[in-house]
Structure 1
Amino acid sequence: MPEAARADPRAPIGRNRQFRLLFICLLVIGAGNSMLLAVAPPLVRELKLPDSSVGWIFSLSALLWVVMSPGWGRLSDRIGRKPVAALGLGAYAVSMASFGVVVMFGQAGFIAGAWLFTWLMLARAIFGAFGSASSPAAQAYIADRTTRLERTEQLAGLTAAFALGQAFGPAICAALAAKFGLVFPIWLVAVLAAIASFMIWRFLPENTPPKSERPKGEWRESLALVTDRRLSAFLLYGFALSVVAGVTVQVFGLFTMDRLNAAGERGAELTAAGFMVNALALLATQMAILPRLKLGPRGLMAWGAGLLALGVGVQIIADTLAALLVAQAVQGLGAGLARPGFTGGASVAVKPEEQGSAAGLVVAANGAGFVFSPVIGGVVYETVDMNAPLIIMLVLLLAMMAFALRSRRLRNAAALDTPPSEPPPS
């Protein structure tokens, strides 16, 4: 009998086998996304697609992510976290493999133009529709076995896996793309995602038993959480944060290539370097700085938005690679505070039986901005000015910082951060 099978499936979460498996799950997704974002700008130019295609290719996937994530969170409440997480990773493998096939067909000249763009969007859409199952299931798995006081830090530790993948994904991508071509990293991620899906299914001990029956009105009650005063302020902030992430990520590659006059594999290398610095800063923040700050969700959200604004401001005036890397480092530091603040605050705000639904809404908020970011990012970049999308994000981030400091709902939620004591879930 495997060691994981003998483990107590309701043991407190920590740096144990269960945590490591979930860590791998988010690690693969983070590495894959960063690799794809690094190769996308040079790929669309190689395939003779408009620059704005970088954003639009991800837009349908983001829309499906928003629509489907709450449902996957609720499903994990009913049938358990493990099967939902494994399904999401398997779908991610299929999505990346399909994307790689379409790119190869485009490079060979079998499809081009609108058809090529459509098939790339549909291949990525598989991730939005089904790959979105992994994140809410993993977050709810953590929430099942942590107290309210532990949850923000533990969720940040899990998010660090995503950041670690983002950190090393671009470096690996740049090396592989230079030696084997731009499409090879995409195939590698597909294989790793398939292996991770099998590991989750085979070795992760289940924590939440399936509910015997589906409660009447569960769908309506889950949707009601969107406007629930406990969650609404966190979700609004999370949506704005996802818009910022979508725009800054989608324009960084194009911005770097145009500002430094780079193209092809060289453009992918420079973009990858920026993403790697960003992710390393985010990882350092969540692993080393965050546990020592002892800030509540509201404080993390305010500081995170402020540092992100500073990083975007530095990028606007940057004219060298070193300056661009500094901008990415500051942005990574800000994201490392902002995202755990909003994620942990939303989890703390709801009851144990609502964790799956809340996690689904949080994941939906994380992807919702990517539905709109192609317009603010790619279209504005092409039609107005390369700095225009960043200026818009700078204004939005300053508004987010003011919101985190002044929102009455967030101030009320802060009172929940320090309850007298709470026993571990049983």
Structure 2
Amino acid sequence: MIINMKIDKKKSTVFAIIFIGLVINGAGQSILFSTLPSVFRDLGLPDLWIGIIVSCSAFTLVIFSTIWGKIIDYTSNKISYIVGLTSFGFGTLIFVSVLDMLYLDMISTTTTIISLIVIRIIYAALTAGMHPSSLSYVTKNYSDKVKVNKISLISSAFTLGLCIGPSLVILTRFGNSLTPIYFISIVALFVSIIAYVGIPSQTSVIEKKEVVSHSQGNIKNTLHLLFIVIVMNALFSSTQQNIGFLVQELNGQTGLSSIENTGLLVSILAFSLLATQVFIVRTLSVSVESMIFIGFSMTLAFILVSIKSSSIYHMMLAMIFLGVGFGILIPSVQSKISSIYPSEKQGYIAGVIFSCASIGYIIGPIIGTAFNSKNIKSTYLIGLLILLLSAVFYAIGSMSKKRKVTI
């Protein structure tokens, strides 16, 4: 019993360190992309380059998430997590330093753009293992009974950071527009030191009897589930991209009033997602399959309300539906995928999951802007199509698996 208490304490400590690191990562991302538009315009840099820099990062994440997943299985979660968090700290620090150098006229605009792209590519390659190692730790160290809850909590850490990040903009009063970015990068480096000391080299402390070996751990068995990951992240990112345009269309607003209403909707989305991940998923005592069904239903409700929306209040309701749908569906699908694979492949499949999420974030902005000139709600019509398609794939994949079990 004493041994079990020590194991539980060890797991709780590691989980807390991982959670804090992901909060910082989320806060850093939200701070960076909250301040970049104004910083770029202050420096006379075209808005287009923000999108190019982000796209370069996303493509790099697609490739390196799977690579880091394999590294995790051959080494440990500790190495990839600390490399990821440390690279986030140093990468962000160097990134913001380059912008500061342009402010001081120490380098040219061309040198700045090239440097920022190179920094973000290297940054993305080295930080790509942070999220897979976090997910892999949960799937390796917790039983199926609590796995969905723990995955949901891990997901909520990044979401919590996204909510906290914008509030740190107040630090601009003690410096300039780049001060919050400097602050979060230094905090990340400090936490990476704590992680180095606090996370044991061997992070898999689950008892062997809890590990269920699945000889059927094959990527073909999870394609229908991975497609859901791509679709949901595409829907989420396309909504983030499109929502500002839709607000202007619905209310005929521009300028500050449009920005305020867009910010309100994004905040509702973030907080409904956070509430779902922290409270709703943990209290639902239903099967993973039932949770996936609920997640699909909530996401479908989001799309239908968005298509029919005629006011900002309709979109508020839609954001709640999306937050709940995404918050339930993603951890349920991740748990379902991880249960198909044996313990020694959890790092690999965690990397694949985050590669699929990155693909969704590449596709999403295209869906969110490509057809706006023809119909501002085309984003949601396309979203309806791919959501129904993913539901059909999921049904076919699930029936195929049941057939194999019966045989």
TM-score (norm 2): 0.81
Indicate the SS of the match to 1:207.
Answer: coil
Name the CA shift for 1:253/1:185 in 2 (closer, same or farther; >3 Å). farther
| Aligned 8 A contact 1:42 1:268 in 2 | no
Deviations 1:333-385 (A, max 9, x none): 1110121012111111111111111111112112122233343334545x655
Describe how 1:1-150 pairs up with structure 2 within 5 A.
11-12=7-8, 16-43=12-39, 53-105=49-101, 117-150=113-146
Give 1:246 shift: 2.7
Q: What is aligned with 2:278?
A: 287
Indicate the SS of the match to 1:205.
Answer: coil
Which residue type is aligned with residue 186 of structure 1?
I
Q: What is aligned with 2:194?
A: 199
Name the CA shift for 1:67/1:199 in 2 (closer, same or farther; >3 Å). same
The partner residue of 1:360 within 340, 345, 351 is: 351
Q: What is aligned with 1:408?
A: 397
Q: What is aligned with 1:184?
A: 179
Q: What is aligned with 2:208?
A: none
1:261 equivalent to 2:254? Answer yes
Give 1:49 shift: 5.6
CA distance in 1, matches of 2:172, 2:248: 16
Name the CA shift for 1:321/1:100 in 2 (closer, same or farther; >3 Å). farther
TM-score (norm 1): 0.78
Name the CA shift for 1:409/1:351 in 2 (closer, same or farther; >3 Å). same
Which residue type is aligned with residue 254 of structure 2?
N
Give 1:25 shift: 1.4
Aligned sequence identity (%): 22
Indicate the SS of the match to 2:294.
Answer: helix
CA distance in 2, matches of 1:26, 1:291: 19
1:391 equivalent to 2:387? Answer no
| Aligned 8 A contact 1:52 1:379 in 2 | no
| Aligned 8 A contact 2:224 2:390 in 1 | no
Deviations 1:279-325 (A, max 9, x none): 22112112211123234333333332332343345456667665544
Which residue type is aligned with residue 409 of structure 1?
S
CA RMSD of aligned residues (A): 3.7
CA distance in 1, matches of 2:356, 2:61: 9
1:299 equivalent to 2:294? Answer no
| Aligned 8 A contact 2:237 2:360 in 1 | yes
| Aligned 8 A contact 2:135 2:350 in 1 | yes
Name the CA shift for 1:277/1:74 in 2 (closer, same or farther; >3 Å). same
Q: Which is further off, 157-166 or 105-114?
A: 105-114
CA distance in 1, matches of 2:223, 2:331: 16
Q: What is aligned with 2:302?
A: 311
Name the CA shift for 1:314/1:183 in 2 (closer, same or farther; >3 Å). farther
CA distance in 2, matches of 1:203, 1:35: 27
Q: What is aligned with 2:209?
A: none
CA distance in 2, matches of 1:162, 1:283: 9
| Aligned 8 A contact 1:41 1:254 in 2 | no
Which residue type is aligned with residue 24 of structure 2?
V
Which residue type is aligned with residue 125 of structure 1?
I
Describe how 1:229-268 pairs up with structure 2 within 5 A.
229-252=220-243, 260-262=253-255
Which residue type is aligned with residue 181 of structure 2?
I
Name the CA shift for 1:28/1:269 in 2 (closer, same or farther; >3 Å). farther
Indicate the SS of the match to 1:407.
Answer: helix
Q: Which is further off, 119-128 or 319-328?
A: 319-328
Deviations 1:158-205 (A, max 9, x none): 2121222122223334x4468865433322221222122111111122
Q: What is aligned with 1:376?
A: 367
Structure 1 residues without counterparts, runs of 5 or longer: 1-6, 210-223, 417-426
1:228 equivalent to 2:219? Answer yes
The partner residue of 2:168 within 165, 169, 172 is: 172
Which residue type is aligned with residue 98 of structure 1?
I
Indicate the SS of the match to 2:220.
Answer: coil
CA distance in 2, matches of 1:341, 1:188: 34
CA distance in 2, matches of 1:166, 1:302: 27
CA distance in 1, matches of 2:308, 2:172: 29
Q: How many residues are paired up?
A: 391
| Aligned 8 A contact 1:59 1:372 in 2 | no
CA distance in 2, matches of 1:373, 1:116: 27
CA distance in 2, matches of 1:13, 1:248: 40
CA distance in 2, matches of 1:49, 1:77: 42
CA distance in 2, matches of 1:85, 1:119: 25
